[in-house]
Structure 1
Amino acid sequence: MHLKLRFDEVDRWFEKDKEILNHQPANGGWTVQQVLEHIYLTNFYLLILIEKGSKKAMRNYLNLDLNSEIKNYSFDKEKFEEVGEHGAFEWIRPEHMEPKGELNSTEIRNLIILQYHQCLEYLELMKNGEGLLCKTTMTVSELGKINVYEYIYFLSLHSRRHLTQMKNNESETIKN
C-alpha cells in the first residue's frame, strides 16, 4: 500500500504545468523536473540491488530456515522513518544519481511506472517471506544490513522525501 501510494503521488507530478516543473528554487536546489529524474535514477540503482537480493534470497530459501527468520524478524520502523523526511539528515548522493537532463518528462514517467511494476514483481516472487533471507548493507542514514523488503520500503521512503521537496518548490512558484 505504501509503495502504490508513493508511486501514485510521484506520478501526479508529471501532470503539473511547465512553470512548476521547471521553477528553479531560490535556494538553488533542483527543479521538480530534476527531482523526478533523480527519483528515477535512484530507483534504477536500488532496483539493481533489489534484483540481486531477490535472486539470492530465493537461492537461500533452499538452505535457510524461513520460518525461523520470520519468527525472529523485527522491523525498526523508527530507524527507517527519517529516510522519508526531507532534510532529516545530510547525505551526499553519488554522482550517477544526479539528474543530467537527458530524458524528457514522458520518458521519466514511463520508466518510473515500469519501476513500480518491477517492485510488484519482486514482491510477488518473494510472497512467502523469502525477502528476509538476504541482507545487504545500506549506508544511507546508517541503516546497516537490511533485507530485500526493507530495500523496497527504502525506495518508497526515498520518493516520499522528495515529494516534500517538490511541494516546497511548487509553493515557492505559486508565491512568485
Structure 2
Amino acid sequence: MEKLLLLNQLENQVENHLQQAIQKYQNLSNELLLKPSSSGGWSIAQCLEHLNSYGVYYLPLFKKGLYASQDDMRVETIESTWLGKLAIDSMNPEKGKKKFKARKGHIPEVILDAKAVIAEFINQQEQLLQILRIAKNKRIQQIKIPISIAKFLKLHLGDAIQFLIIHNERHIQQANRNL
C-alpha cells in the first residue's frame, strides 16, 4: 500500500480513538470507568491503562526512530513483513478472535485513578497523531522498532504503528462493551 494512503487511514483511526476518549470516556463517572465487565473482564479504565502501558513503550521508540532518520519525500510502498502481518492480524478484532493473556508489565491494576488514565490515553493519542504526520516525510520501512515482548525481534515502523493502532482498536472495542 502506498505510504501516504496508509498513514492517512491510520490517522483517521487514531482521530476516532481520540474522539471516543474525549466524548465517551472523559465524561463518565469514576464508578462507571472502574466497573468490571459483566463477563469478569477489565473495566474501561483497565482497558485504557493497558493501552497506555504499550504507548509508554512504543511512542518514545517511534519518535526516536523518526527524528534519527532523514527526511525523504519519495513515494514509498509499505509492505508488511511476515512478522508484522502476524502481529497486526493477531490483534485485529475482525480477524483475530483469539484471546491473549496480557504480558507482565501490561496488566493493569484494579484500582486506578480513572481520570488520570483517560487523560494519559488522550495525551498518547495526540502524540500518535504527531508521529503519523512526521512519518509522512520519512522512509518508515527503514526504521526498525524492537517489539515489547522480544526486543531482539524488530518490526519496521510501518508495521509497528499499525500493530499499536489495531491493538488500541481491539481494547477500545472491549472498553465500549462495558458501556
Gap change, CA 1:84 and 1:23, over 3 Å in 2: same
Matches within 5 A, 1:81-120: 81-85=89-93, 88-100=97-109, 103-120=112-129
Give the one of 26, 39, 51 matched to 1:14: 26
Give the one of 65, 69, 86 matched to 1:53: 65
Gap change, CA 1:2 and 1:104, over 3 Å in 2: same
Where does residue 124 of structure 1 map in the other structure? 133
Check the 8 A contact 1:6/1:156 in 2, yes or no: no
TM-score by length of 2: 0.69
Residues 1:160 and 2:165 are matched in the alignment: no
CA RMSD of aligned residues (A): 3.3
1:83 positional shift: 1.4
Where does residue 133 of structure 1 map in the other structure? 142
Q: Deviations for 1:103-130, whole angstroms, at most 9, x for unmatched residues?
A: 5222222222221222233233332232
**Aligned partners of 1:26, 1:18: CA distance in 2, in Å?**
17
**What amino acid is aligned across from residue 91 of structure 2 in structure 1?**
V
- Give % identity: 22
Q: Which runs of 5+ in 1 are unaligned?
A: 171-176
1:93 positional shift: 2.6
TM-score by length of 1: 0.70
Q: Deviations for 1:41-85, whole angstroms, at most 9, x for unmatched residues?
A: 2221121332333244x1xx38xx984x825x3258975244131
Higher CA-based Rg: 1
Aligned residues: 160
Q: Which has the higher helix share?
A: 1
- SS state of the match for residue 140, structure 2? helix
